[in-house]
Amino acid sequence: MTKVLIVEARFYKDLADELVAGATAHLEAAGVEYDRVSVPGAFEIPAAISFAHRAGGHGAPDYDGYVALGCVIRGETTHYDYVCGESARGLQDLAVRDGLAIGYGILTVENGDQAWARASVIKKNKGRDAAEACLAMIAIKQRFGLA
C-alpha cells in the first residue's frame, strides 16, 4: 500500500485547510494512506520532509512520497522572495539528491484573491494537483525500480 506524508504550512490556516482538503480527497479516491504534519510556514516544509525521510525505518513510517502544501503571499519586503526561493530550492534538492517523490503545492501569489483562486477545491484545486504530482512521481520511481 502506498503511503504519503502531507506537510502543511499553517501560516495561512484557512488556505492550508483548503489545500489539504483537495489533497486528501485525491489521495483517498486513489486508495492511498497518508499522514499529516504541520509546520509554521513554507520555509520549514523541506526540513520536515527531510526529517521524515531520515527517520524512516528507525521506528518512524517509511513514506513513498510527500505532498508539500502552503502559501506565500507577497508583502512589502523581500521576505517573500527568500521564502519562495528557499522552500522551492530545498524541495528540489531533496527530490534530486535523495530521490524523493514530492508533489509541490506551495502557492506563491501576489494577494489573497489569487491564493483563494488556486487553493479552492471548486476552482484550481492546487492541493489536488500536488497530490497528483506526488503519485505520478511515485509511479516513475517504481517504473525505474527505485521504490
Overall average pLDDT of the 18-38 stretch: 98
144 is in an annotated binding site: no
Q: What is the pLDDT of residue 58?
A: 87
- Residues classed as catalytic: 79
Reported pTM? 0.97
11 is in an annotated binding site: yes
108 is in an annotated binding site: no
Q: How far apart are CA 63 and CA 73, in angstroms?
A: 29
Phi, psi of 35 (to 5 degrees): -120, 165
Q: What is the pLDDT of residue 57?
A: 81
Amino acid at residue number 25? A
Domains and CATH numbers, the chain: 3-143 (3.40.50.960)
> What percentage of the chain reaches a pLDDT higher than 70?
100
Q: How far apart are CA 59 and CA 115, in angstroms?
A: 37
Q: Which three cell numbers stand for residue 5?
A: 506524508
Q: What is the pLDDT of residue 99?
A: 96
44 is in an annotated binding site: yes
Please answer whether residues 98 and 46 qualify as being in contact, where contact means their C-beta atoms are separated by less than 8 angstroms.
Answer: no
pLDDT digits (tens, 9 = 90+) for 97-147: 999 999 999 999 999 999 999 999 999 999 999 999 999 999 999 999 997
Q: What is the mean pLDDT of the chain?
A: 97
DSSP secondary structure string for all residues of 20-44: HHHHHHHHHHTT-EEEEEEESSGGG
